[in-house]
């Protein structure tokens, strides 16, 4: 199969020049392989080399991947096998360094595959975001499972007082929890375990919490540390109870006590998307049942509106302070405002409407329409505007595997976006983006935005430990 993008559509001069430079590097390491490609395959490969520096760099390091990609890996993504395949590859890893290498190579191959499909229209945006999310979940869970076996060999198996093995559960937050992850997003995680006790069967016993704290530290390092093969994901643990000042891992009872006694409004907002990663179990059920009363109140909770309004005001202040321009996530009418609109309705009515208790923003939007909370025009405008911004964001990040929501400051990246999105030029694309953001901001003001509050919020820069990247501690 040839590329999905119209093969008659020509690349701009800037993209063509970039593609030729990357092609020359490939020829230096894989000239024989390139000569064996068909003319259509060469054309497609040159296109993706011009569109993504990340793909080009990875293929220069691993040119043998090109054969596998053209042999069928571009046409079909069977995301349900990510976990099985990676578990099998990790089974032969006998050291942490070997595990790091396996995880990073698997990640990079799959990310090249997904970026290629995204740039050349093999998949819809929704499919791409789901593929990225399932891949991230497989990487996190396979790393967890490998470490758990390794830790148990050394310290024994953590048990409760009745002698039942205790697992490490991982809450995926933000877009990972919603299965709508960006190409190069941080992943926000919370670690927890069911019951206190101690390990049994190792060379020396450890308290369960100490076991899981050590395991959690190693897991973050396994995923986050940069090696010769890069990293797996940047891991952010600051959404946990007490932020950076709190223990890395707490028990179910510790989580419950914290949220009942000290849980704040922004933490309710963050927990809307929280999802236990990996195969579902009775522990997953118990964890979600325990968190639900904190997130969703039994009454219709209009106080959520004012809390979200204050969050947005603080974000706007920080955007101005940091002089962020062309930011399609945090600016007026950006991605965050769509999330505020949808999640405000979830927080207000989720206690009475179980169907709203879901992590997916797309799913929640459809549910709100079916419940009569959104009019068709509002859903249509919000969804199409949000899809455009998310597509632009995903492409921006796939250009060089960098976390960014800022529109380009150079003509090459504008040309790349315009080619993929079928826009005539930068002005044309900017017009579409500005129109989408204007629609989003109008709906935001009609729901969450409200009237301007004369008195400034009493809270300034948050000191919860999550807020180094932004004023309010919100997950990606």
**Sequential DSSP letters for 22-36:** HHHHHHHHHHHHHHT
CA torsion 341-347-348-354 (nearest 10°) is 120
Measured CA to CA, the distance from residue 47 to residue 70 in angstroms comes to: 14
Give just the sign of the alpha carbon dihedral 459, 465, 470, 472: negative
Domains contained in the chain, CATH given: 125-295 (3.30.460.10), 297-448 (1.20.120.330)
Measured CA to CA, the distance from residue 346 to residue 333 in angstroms comes to: 20
Measured CA to CA, the distance from residue 399 to residue 57 in angstroms comes to: 11
What was the pLDDT predicted at 7? 55
CB 399 within 8 A of CB 409: no
Q: Has residue 469 got a pLDDT over 60?
A: no
Model confidence pLDDT, tens digit, residues 417-438? 999 999 999 999 999 999 999 9
**Which distant-in-sequence residues (6+ apart) come within 8 Å of 188 by Cβ?**
172, 173, 174, 176, 236, 237, 238, 239, 270, 475, 476
Closest CA to 247 of 199, 198, 209: 209
Closest CA to 302 of 195, 447, 115, 158: 447
Q: Which residue has the tokens 């629609």?
A: 439
Q: Has residue 17 got a pLDDT over 60?
A: yes
DSSP string for residues in 53-98: HHHHHHHHH-TTHHHHIIIIITT---GGGHHHHHHHHHTT--SHHH
**Which distant-in-sequence residues (6+ apart) come within 8 Å of 184 by Cβ?**
397, 398, 401, 402, 403, 404
The pTM score is 0.91
Measured CA to CA, the distance from residue 94 to residue 85 in angstroms comes to: 17
> pLDDT category, 275, cuts 50, 70, 90?
very high
Closest CA to 444 of 317, 316, 319: 316
| Rounded percentage of the chain residues whose pLDDT exceeds 70 | 90
CB 344 within 8 A of CB 308: yes
Strand partners, 207: 198
Q: Has residue 463 got a pLDDT over 50?
A: no
Q: Has residue 10 got a pLDDT over 50?
A: yes
CB 247 within 8 A of CB 208: no
Strand partners, 193: 251
Q: Phi and psi dihedrals of 200, rounded to 5?
A: -135, 135
Angle subtended by helix axes 39-51 and 13-35, to nearest 10: 130
Tell me which of 185-194, 242-251, 306-315 is least confident.
306-315
Helices (H) and strands (E) in the chain, counts: 18, 7
Question: Around Cβ 43, how many Cβ atoms within 10 Å?
Answer: 14
Model confidence pLDDT, tens digit, residues 331-378? 889 999 999 899 989 998 999 999 999 999 999 999 999 999 999 999
Q: Residue 426 to residues 93, 299, 432: CA-CA distances in angstroms?
A: 48, 48, 10
Measured CA to CA, the distance from residue 276 to residue 459 in angstroms comes to: 31
What is the average pLDDT score of the chain? 90
What was the pLDDT predicted at 317? 75
Q: Has residue 461 got a pLDDT over 70?
A: no
3 state DSSP class of 169: strand
The arithmetic mean of pLDDT across residues 260-277, rounded, is 93
Q: Which residue has the tokens 């960006």?
A: 182
> How many residues does this entry show for the chain?
476
Q: Which residue has the tokens 């099998």?
A: 88
Question: Around Cβ 185, how many Cβ atoms within 10 Å?
Answer: 23
The DSSP secondary-structure symbol of 69 reads I
Question: Tokens representing 156?
Answer: 């024994």
């Amino acid at each position: 199969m040839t590329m999905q993008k119209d093969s008659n559509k020509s690349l701009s001069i800037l993209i063509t020049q970039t593609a030729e430079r990357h092609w020359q590097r490939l020829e230096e390491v894989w000239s024989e392989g390139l000569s064996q490609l068909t003319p259509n395959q060469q054309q497609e490969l040159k296109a993706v080399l011009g569109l993504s520096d990340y793909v080009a760099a990875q293929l220069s390091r691993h040119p043998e991947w090109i054969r596998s990609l053209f042999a069928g890996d571009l046409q079909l993504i069977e995301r349900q096998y990510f976990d099985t395949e990676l578990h099998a590859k990790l089974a032969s890893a006998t050291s942490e360094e070997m595990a790091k290498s396996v995880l990073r190579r698997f990640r990079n191959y799959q990310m090249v595959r997904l970026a290629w499909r995204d740039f050349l229209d093999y998949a819809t945006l929704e499919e791409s975001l789901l593929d990225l999310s399932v891949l991230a979940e497989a990487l996190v869970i396979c790393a967890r499972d490998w470490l758990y076996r390794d830790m148990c060999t050394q310290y024994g198996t953590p048990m409760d007082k009745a002698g039942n093995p205790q697992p490490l559960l991982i809450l995926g937050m933000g877009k990972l929890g919603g299965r709508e992850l960006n190409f190069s997003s941080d992943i926000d995680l919370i670690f927890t375990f069911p019951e206190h006790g101690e390990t049994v069967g190792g060379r020396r016993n450890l308290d369960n919490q100490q076991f899981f704290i050590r395991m959690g530290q190693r897991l973050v390092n396994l995923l986050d540390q940069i090696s010769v093969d890069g990293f797996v994901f940047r891991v952010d643990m600051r959404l946990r109870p007490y932020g950076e000042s709190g223990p890395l891992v707490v028990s179910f009872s510790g989580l419950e006590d914290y949220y009942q006694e000290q849980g704040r409004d922004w933490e309710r907002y963050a927990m809307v998307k929280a999802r236990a990663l990996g195969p579902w179990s009775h522990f997953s059920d118990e964890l979600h049942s325990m968190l639900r009363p904190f997130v969703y109140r039994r009454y219709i909770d209009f106080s959520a509106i004012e809390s979200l309004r204050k969050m947005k005001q603080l974000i706007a202040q920080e955007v101005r302070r940091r002089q962020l321009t062309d930011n399609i996530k945090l600016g007026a009418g950006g991605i965050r405002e769509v999330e505020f609109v949808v999640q405000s309705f979830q927080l207000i009515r989720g206690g009475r409407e179980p169907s709203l208790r879901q992590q997916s923003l797309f799913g929640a939007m459809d549910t709100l329409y079916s419940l009569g909370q959104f009019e068709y025009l509002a859903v249509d405008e919000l969804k199409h505007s949000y899809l455009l911004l998310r597509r632009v964001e995903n492409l921006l990040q796939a250009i060089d595997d960098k976390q960014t929501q800022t529109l380009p400051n150079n003509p090459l990246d504008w040309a790349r976006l315009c080619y993929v999105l079928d826009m005539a030029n930068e002005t044309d694309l900017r017009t579409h983006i500005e129109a989408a953001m204007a629609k989003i901001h109008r709906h935001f003001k009609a729901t969450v935005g409200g009237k301007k509050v004369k008195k400034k919020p009493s809270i300034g820069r948050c000191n919860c430990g999550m807020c180094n990247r932004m004023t309010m501690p919100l997950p990606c």
